[in-house]
Every structure is written in structure tokens, then in C-alpha cells.
Structure 1
Amino acid sequence: MEKLDLTKTPYYKASAAPSLHRFGPRRYLSVTGIGDPSSAAFREKVGGLYALIYKVKFAAKAAGADFVVPKMEGLWWYDTDKYGVLPPGETMDKVPRSDWHWQILLQVPEYITEENIEKARATVLQKTPSAGEVKWVAVDEGEVVQVLHIGPYTAEEPALEKIIRFMKDEWLESAGEHHEIYLSDPAKTEERRLRTIIRHPVRRVSRASIWLDASPEVVWDALVNPAKVKEYFFGTTLEATWEPGSPLRFTGEWDGQAYEDKGVVKQVDPEKYLAYTYWTVYFGTEDRPENYVNIEYSLTKENNGTRLSVAQDGKKDRAAAEESAGHWEQVLNGLKSFLEK
């Protein structure tokens, strides 16, 4: 019988040099909690996770579809409202372990079904009640930056600094939780030899910002009023109700060619924040939800005027992100000229 070994796939490979990847959606058995990972409560939950996945494995083996139990993974985060945002490159050791939030994951093969899992759970619950807390989840982190760390879990700063430098060079920003994959068994491996893949979900973001000699009320009206948008946004005609979930339509001519761009309103906080999705034929992609980018406007009072910042994601490389930022600087300068004339 051939045994499926997911740990031999690229998902479980990394090098000491940071690199960008997209692994796509995966399915896991998972437990979540808050607290010290050396605590009895943590061990109990993780014990329930392993008890369940091994029962699933043995049932699959009996049916002729055996697999190797993959490496344990962990998503780690903390309450930023309580502790603030840690400086780039610093680990969560600055936060008391009693306040660590975590999600521990074990990947399952695609052929394992929810029915397989529930049948296995029923047979282990009496002996291992914590198996009742295990969830079957699907996770797609999108693009991630990863690096291989070799050494103690408490000495990850150099690896994190590599990731931060790489992200800065590539115009990438964090878009999810700190993710670790534990390739080594700490009970059988010296601390200095522990191998851990560190991952950060990211998105590539173009940003531009400008100070305007106008109140947030006036700037907001210029962003949402179709007649005013037409004055500074390359003559485009905007159709919008600005209700969250409602469609947007941008029409006009560019280089003698008619265009119709689209979007969907995501969030509206008058005079503070505006977010919507956006697609244009000039992206060279099909009109499908996954090909829409996110555009966000933020307004803050500053020096008796307004600081307007805009962010757009979805660019495939640094050069495209830089070009997009230049485009938005043009738009913002046009808005400034319109408002301050």
C-alpha cells in the first residue's frame, strides 16, 4: 500500500533566504486557545488533536488509503488593542504568554471527508474528551513570505528581520497571522538544531498620501460626488449609491477607447474611510471576483486641513506596485489642484 506523505511536498520546504509563495487552500484539523503553550491546557487540546488525526489515519489505512501525519503548524497572535503593535522583527515574547492566542493545525489529505472525521471522533471522545474541541477548517493564506529558521523558538528575531526586509523591498505588507511549521520534534532534537518554517501572509500594496487645505467634509464630498470626481479623475463618469454591497461603475474614454470599469462598495465611514473593490479591462484579466483589487481611502484631520491616504493592493510585482503608486500620486495631485484652485 502506498502511503501519502504530504511532508514531501513543497508546502513543507523552505530555505534560509526569504521567498514569496502561494500554496492555495488547505484543509486541517485544528484547535484554538489563549495561554502559555507550555501549559497543561495547551497540551490537553493538542493531545485531543493528535488523538483524532491518528484515529482518522488508522481508519484510512484500513480502507487502503494510508497517510503520514503531517508536521504540526501554529498560527500565533495577540490582542493589539491591549498591547499595541510590536515593532517589526520583534517576537511575541514581549507579550505575556498567558495572553498568547494560538491555533494549532494538522493538515489532512484531500480525500478525508467530514464524515470520516466525525466517525473517528465518536470512537475517541470517551477516552479523550478534548477531541470534541477539534474543528475541521479550510485555510487559504494567499501569498506568503517564508524563511527557514534553525535554532530555538525563542531566537527567531534574525529570521523575522529577513522577512521584514524582504517585504519592504517588495512593497509587501502583513495580511494575516504569524505562521510556524515545526519540522523537528523538540523532544528528540537539540534546541540549536530545531527547524521551523516561519511564514507571513502578505499583500502587495501601493500607497500615496497628500495634505489638502480643506476640511474632511469637503474632501469626502470630492471623493463620492460624481460631478466632482469627473473634474480630477481623468474625466471618468462615476455611478454609485455608496451603500455597502452596492455596485460601482466608472465609464469614459482613454486613448480614444471607451471603457467601463466596475467595483463593489465594501465600507463607508463618512469623512473618515472609504473602501471598495475595483476591476478594469486594463488589468488584462477576466471580470471575475478574484481579479478585483481593493482600494481604500483614509481621511484624518491634520494642520487645519486633511491628510488623505490611498492604498491599492493586487499588483503582481514591485515594478507594478511602484507604477500604481505613481498613478495615485497623479490622482491626488489633481484632487489638490481642484480643491485649492
Structure 2
Amino acid sequence: MAAKIDFKKSLDGYQARAGQFRVVEIPETRYLMIDGHGDPNTSPAYTGALQALYPVAYKLKFASRRDLDRDYVVPPLEGLWWADDMDAFTVARDKSRWNWTMMLLVPEWIDDAMVEAAVDIVRAAGSAGRVADVRIETLAEGRCVQTLHLGSFDDEAAVLDEMHHEFIPGQGFGLSGKHHEIYLSDVRRVTPDKLRTILRQPVIEAATARHPD
């Protein structure tokens, strides 16, 4: 069997340093996705999303190892976050106003039929949260700015404010897509001050920039 792939080590999009903003080009990437709204700390929809995504992701991993002789580490959880007013992230931090899409990367060699089979298996088990809402979709972010945040999620506001209002316009860019977070730490095992989170923002040339949806 080939060596197990760890995408956190092999993909450039999972590389970032604290205190440094970096412009990166992100290729089109396929994800398992589920949408929702509201505070992730209290929303049953958020809990149900994670309860569905992980079982499907692990079924895919096992099927890939068994049927394709290609093993890999299940990639880190990711999330797209947005609100009608993006200051809900950088100023008010009003989580009740947040919309989100939680995601797990799907390796390029896994086809849609394998995803559908994994979803069907998990659905048949009958205890995987919102598995009926799981979909596979390609995300095309292109040029982005990202950095590594160390610490609590609630301490992200100052970093995002600098990214959105200083670094990005200073590089001649404007905001384009949705705020993207990549969770490199397991919140069940790491104290808030030790969390490692990549903060990513898609950008475009300032002349054609628009406010994120």
C-alpha cells in the first residue's frame, strides 16, 4: 500500500504562519458540505452538521484504502462564514447573525459515485445527524490572503480587521468571496489559547471588488 497522505503537509493551502499575511492561489477543490445559520456554540444545526460530515468522510477514507489502495488522513474541518454585514465578524462578533457552510475536503481521486455510496451507508445507519443535507461541491476561490491565528476563536476579530481593512486594500485588492476558516486543532483536545486556525479571505483586484455575499 502507498504511504498515507496527510493533506495538512502536502497542500500549500494548509500552510500559514502567525503574524504573517500571505497571498496564495487556491485551486478548485471539492468538499463535502452542509449549510446552516446561527451561533455554532448553541445551534443544533451546527452539531448535526458535524455529526453527519465526519461519518461520511471516514467511510470515504476506508473505501479509498480498500478499493483504490490509496490511504489518507481525513482533512481538517473547514468553514465558510458570512453575514449581511461583515462587521458581525470583525466588530460586533454577533454569532446569531452568522451564516455558515461546514466542509471536509474530498481527495481528487474520489468520484461522485463513491461519495453517494458513503452517504447512503451512513444514512442507512440512521444516527448521523443531518446526513440527508450532505452534498459534494467544488469551491473555486482562486487568489486569497491567509494567515494563522493562534488562540481562541473569539480573539480573531483584531486579526480579521487588520486583514480586511489594512493588508488587503494595501495590496490593491478588495474582498471577494466568503470568509474561510481551517481548523488545524481538535477543539475537544486543545485549550482555547492553543487553537491553530487558518483565516482565509478570497480577494480580487480592487477595481472590481465587491462586498462578500
With the length of structure 2 as denominator, give the TM-score of the two structures.
0.88
Counterpart amino acid of residue 121 in structure 2: T
- Aligned position for 2:13: 11
Alpha-carbon distance, 1:123 to partner:
1.1
Alpha-carbon distance, 1:92 to partner:
5.9
Question: Structure 1 unaligned runs (5+)?
Answer: 207-311, 314-341
- Aligned position for 2:30: 27
2:40 matches 1:37: yes
- Aligned position for 1:286: none
**In the alignment, is the contact (CA less than 8 A) between 2:56 and 2:119 conserved in 1?**
yes
- Aligned position for 1:279: none
Q: Distance in 1 between matches of 2:92 and 2:112?
A: 34
123-132 vs 39-48, which deviates more?
Answer: 123-132
- For 1:262-281, list aligned pairs within 5 A: none
Q: Secondary structure at the match of 2:59?
A: helix
Alpha-carbon distance, 1:41 to partner:
2.3
Q: Distance in 2 between matches of 1:158 and 1:36?
A: 20
Cα offsets for 1:207-232 (capped at 9, x unmatched) = xxxxxxxxxxxxxxxxxxxxxxxxxx
**In the alignment, is the contact (CA less than 8 A) between 2:169 and 2:206 conserved in 1?**
no
Aligned residues: percent identity? 35
Aligned residues: 201
Q: Distance in 2 between matches of 1:65 and 1:116?
A: 14
- Aligned position for 1:138: 138
How much is the aligned-residue C-alpha RMSD, in angstroms?
Answer: 1.8
Alpha-carbon distance, 1:168 to partner:
2.0
Q: Secondary structure at the match of 1:132?
A: helix
Alpha-carbon distance, 1:138 to partner:
0.2
Question: Structure 2 unaligned runs (5+)?
Answer: none
Larger CA Rg, structure 1 vs 2:
1
- For 1:128-277, list aligned pairs within 5 A: 128=128, 130-163=130-163, 164-206=165-207
**In the alignment, is the contact (CA less than 8 A) between 2:60 and 2:114 conserved in 1?**
yes
Q: Distance in 1 between matches of 2:92 and 2:79?
A: 13
Q: Distance in 2 between matches of 1:34 and 1:116?
A: 28
**In the alignment, is the contact (CA less than 8 A) between 1:148 and 1:159 conserved in 2?**
no
**In the alignment, is the contact (CA less than 8 A) between 2:23 and 2:146 conserved in 1?**
yes
Alpha-carbon distance, 1:129 to partner:
5.6
Counterpart amino acid of residue 107 in structure 1: L
Q: Secondary structure at the match of 2:130?
A: helix
Cα offsets for 1:6-45 (capped at 9, x unmatched) = 1112111101211111111001001001122122221112
- Aligned position for 1:75: 80
Cα offsets for 1:115-165 (capped at 9, x unmatched) = 001111111103226212101000011110111110100001232133131
- For 1:40-79, list aligned pairs within 5 A: 40-63=44-67, 64-79=69-84
